[in-house]
Amino acid sequence: MTPIVAIVEDDVSAREALIGLVEALGYRGQGFADAAALLGFDGLGQVGCLIADIRLPGGISGMQLHQRLPGLPCILVTAYPDAATADLAQEIGALAYFAKPVPPERLLACLAGILSLQPGWVIPRHDGLGTGSVRTYASAPPGDAAMPTAMPTPGKSLLDPGNHLLVMIDFQSQMAFATKSIDPVALRNNAALVSQAAAGFKVPTILTTVAETSFSGPMFSEVTEPFAGQAMLDRTSMNCWEDAAVIAEVNRIGKPRIVLGGLWTGVCIVGPALSALDQGFEVCVIADACGDVSAEAHDRAMDRMVQAGVQPMTSMQYLLELQRDWARAETYELTTGIAKRFGGAYGLGIVYAKTMFGASESH
């Protein structure tokens, strides 16, 4: 059963807005007007996370409530942020501290980590808790192991717009007709999300088809439209890594990391993935922007590639990894705009948050 997110907020409109946001993101929200109402709640044992306003009526503040429930992960919010309160929130173990209106993407990130409790998941602190300060659910290292030093810098394996080449392969009608591992509407949506992200962030991209005019048909318009005027590289080979024109473009662009998406996973993705790995490239495959003739075919192809060293990811992960910081104002509207159009329930959450209480993730 999905854990309850308890929202303790005396302002009715703010409480309802937070409940709506939490539920739009796929969680169960339960509102309480004060701390006593939560403490007397029969379902307290089902609560997986507490979101509490710092200023509450009834003599128990949000901070005091958190201290009374020390085992319950807590997110504190306030309409009156200041450095001293932020420091105190950090001191008592709050996992996040937000100024109102609550930024929906940051709240989503915190809730996803808190409620899944994935080992090694890192919860960012925001709005006065200190840049780069983190709390993690990872197991502590053995006592005789050297403790690494954490730094507020991204890992080298993360994608950014300048460190990789995207290759979109055979998103064509004839290939899609037989694709059964993913719904065709979802496939087209995910392919569009990836293409919009790559074009918007100016990621160098190759669009390649197989037998376009003689058999397979044109590439999906959702994929080509963001790259208006870009030529298709049509092939006869199932493995695009064996096509001289494709390889010439790979070498011209000159990126050490290759990201792949396309149809079918077990043929037209496995081929270039294993070939590029063999030649010393790093390879990522966007699994939900691929498809095959059956779920078994897709899954076994992904297994084979991962065992060989390919890094799997999803279309939404690709978009958000390119953005990575909501303070990057130059691509903020681009990223949220793509998410709203193609991001499913997550995109609906953004639309809801912005419409209902004007939330902004970037400040």
Residue-wise pLDDT for 261-303, tens only, equals 999 999 999 999 999 999 999 999 999 999 999 999 999 999 9
Predicted pLDDT of residue 116:
62
287 with 305: CB under 8 angstroms? no
Is residue 61's pLDDT more than 80? yes
- Residue 71 is predicted with a pLDDT of 79
DSSP string, 106-146: HHHHHHHHHHH--TT-EEEP-TTS-TT-EEE-SPPPPTTSP
Average pLDDT over residues 65-69: 92
By C-alpha distance, which of 214, 236, 197 is closest to 338? 197
In the predicted model, is pLDDT for residue 124 greater than 70?
Answer: no
- Residue 363 pLDDT class (50, 70, 90 cuts): very low
Alpha helices in 210-266 (DSSP H): 221-224, 244-253
Check residue 1 and give its pLDDT.
Answer: 63
The pLDDT assigned to 360 comes to 59
What does the alpha-carbon distance between residue 283 and residue 79 come to, in Å, rounded to a whole number?
Answer: 45
pLDDT-above-90 percentage for the chain: 60
CA distance 209 to 251: 19
- The Cα 316–Cα 40 span in angstroms is 40
DSSP 147: P
pLDDT at 138: 32
> Please, which pLDDT band fits residue 62 given cuts at 50, 70 and 90?
very high
Beta bridge partners of 234: 209
Identify the residue with better confidence: 187 or 48. 187
Please say if the pLDDT value at position 349 is more than 50.
yes
User: Six-digit token pair at 346?
Assistant: 């997550």
Please say if the pLDDT value at position 236 is more than 90.
Answer: yes
Distance from C-alpha of 196 to C-alpha of 175, rounded to nearest angstrom: 21
Residue showing tokens 């058999």? 215
DSSP for residue 220:
P
Domain locations in the chain?
4-137+345-357, 165-320
What does CATH list as the number for 4-137+345-357? 3.40.50.2300
Query: What is the pLDDT confidence band of residue 122, given thresholds at 50, 70 and 90?
Result: very low
Average pLDDT over residues 103-122: 64
Residue 136 has pLDDT above 50, yes or no: no
Go through 253-274 and write b for each residue having 16 or more CB atoms within 10 A of its CB, e for each that does not: eebebbbbbbbbbbbbbbbbbb
CB count within 10 Å of CB 99 equals 17
Fold (topology level) of 165-320: Rossmann fold (3.40.50)
Question: Once rounded to an integer, what is the mean pLDDT over residues 21-36?
Answer: 87
According to the model, what pLDDT value does residue 178 have?
95
96 vs 236, more confident: 236
Residues 80-101 have pLDDT tens digits of: 888 888 888 888 888 888 888 8
Question: 219 versus 99: which is more confidently predicted?
Answer: 219
Question: Percent of the chain at pLDDT above 70?
Answer: 88
Element housing 52 (H / E): strand 47-53
- pLDDT the model gives residue 139: 33
4-137+345-357 and 165-320 share one fold: yes
Between 62-71, 109-118, 192-201, 263-272, the lowest mean confidence (pLDDT) is in: 109-118
Q: The pTM is what?
A: 0.61
Stretch among 170-179, 287-296, 297-306, 347-356 having the lowest mean pLDDT: 347-356
